[in-house]
Amino acid sequence: MSTQTSWVPPDIDVDRASPARVYDYLLGGAWNFDADRQMAEAAIARMPWVRDLARYNRSFLSRAVRYCAERGISQFLDLGSGMPTSKSVHEMAMEIDPESRVVYVEQEQVAVAHSELILASVPGAGVLGADMRAAQEVLASPVTRELLDFGEPVAVVMASSLHYVLDAEEAAELARTYLAAVPAGSYLVLSHITDDGADGSAEVRELVELSRATTSAGVARSRAWIASLFDGLDLVDPGLVYTSQWRPNTPLRLVTDMPAHASLLAAVARKP
Ligand SMILES: C[S@@+](CC[C@H](N)C(=O)[O-])C[C@H]1O[C@@H](n2cnc3c(N)ncnc32)[C@H](O)[C@@H]1O
């Protein structure tokens, strides 16, 4: 049995790994428990480069937020935001525009508690502890409405989170619903795990299998399915690519040698 520590919300099961805390461990964070660390180590055993996968996703998110912010987007709806790992979306956005507004939506209680602590002193950002699948509730929530003006463009961020919505039609409909709620000039920032690649797809399938033992199983999807989420939107160059290939800042070795090891396809697109 794990020992409950003081920062742990009282009614959570610390003996079952959660994707938010496993991901936190892979990124070097401290908001995780034995069960999460064991699950992360099991993932590393099956996919030795899984920490790179997490880091590439996180740095894609950083570049994508910067891209949007540099084009005048100052509102972000971050769905499945995870731990507020440095740098968080609000920190990235506020570097470009200090008046930026960010709403984090997350269902994992430790991540929500940690986000609340960090954001208590940040007037432009808030966290909503909610299931992002309840789109109408998320969109109507006072946290969302107080911070975001849906008359102005919003970047809808689904970074490594839509693959936890297991039903494919529900997942696609969810992306459409959030995009329908924001005006022209808004952006979709999305990354999603795939087992379509020539390299690493067997390992991705093993990760998906492992995820069934966590609080939230995931699913890998095809390139064609992920691409279809951007139908009707204007894809930003270079289109749908592995996270490590999306406008990289530095010529990382893995980017040139084995891009499919990033395992998540990513894109940014503008709503016309
Ligand atoms: C792999 S983490 C990604 C975190 C962050 N978006 C990033 O890219 O660095 C996926 C997050 O999505 C959250 N998540 C999964 N399904 C969710 C749902 N239905 N509603 C809200 N959050 C969800 C998980 O709890 C987890 O924190």
Span from the CA of 238 to the centroid of ligand 1 (angstroms): 25
Average pLDDT, the chain: 92
User: pLDDT-based confidence at 252, cuts 50/70/90?
Assistant: low
- Among 63-72, 137-146, 205-214, 231-240, the range scoring the smallest mean pLDDT is 205-214
Ligand 1 site residues, Cβ closer than 6 angstroms: 19-20, 23, 57-58, 61, 80-82, 105-108, 111, 131-133, 159-161, 164, 216
Please tell me the predicted confidence (pLDDT) of residue 86.
Answer: 78
Q: Which of 25, 114, 161 gets mutated to test ligand 1 (max ligand atoms within 8 A of its CB)?
A: 161
Residue type, 121: S
Q: Which domains does the chain have, with CATH numbers?
A: 19-270 (3.40.50.150)
Residue 172 has pLDDT above 70, yes or no: yes
Q: Which of 87, 92, 157, 164 gets mutated to test ligand 1 (max ligand atoms within 8 A of its CB)?
A: 164
Residue 257 has pLDDT above 70, yes or no: no
Q: Is 128 exposed, middle or buried (0-12, 13-18, 19+ CB in 10 A)?
A: buried
Instruction: Kindly state the average pLDDT of the residues 101-130.
Output: 95
Strand 101-106 to 125-129 pairing? parallel
Please tell me the predicted confidence (pLDDT) of residue 14.
Answer: 85
Instruction: Kindly state the average pLDDT of the residues 112-133.
Output: 95
The pair of three-digit structure tokens given for residue 93, joined into one six-digit string? 């956005």
Distance from the Cα of residue 213 to its chain's centroid: 20
**42 or 199, which is more confident:** 42
- How far CA 30 is from CA of 1, 37, 55, 82, 195, in Å, comes to 19, 10, 16, 13, 29
Nearest CA to ligand 1 atom 16: 164
**Which one, of 13, 10, 18, 1, lies nearest residue 164 by Cα?**
18
Long-range CB contacts (within 8 A, 24+) of 121-129: 122/90, 124/90, 124/94, 124/98, 124/99, 124/100, 125/90, 125/101, 126/102, 127/81, 127/103, 128/103, 128/104
User: pLDDT-based confidence at 7, cuts 50/70/90?
Assistant: low
Instruction: Kindly state the average pLDDT of the residues 18-32.
Output: 93
Task: Report the nearest atom of ligand 1 relative to the CA of 191.
Answer: 8
User: pLDDT-based confidence at 256, cuts 50/70/90?
Assistant: very low
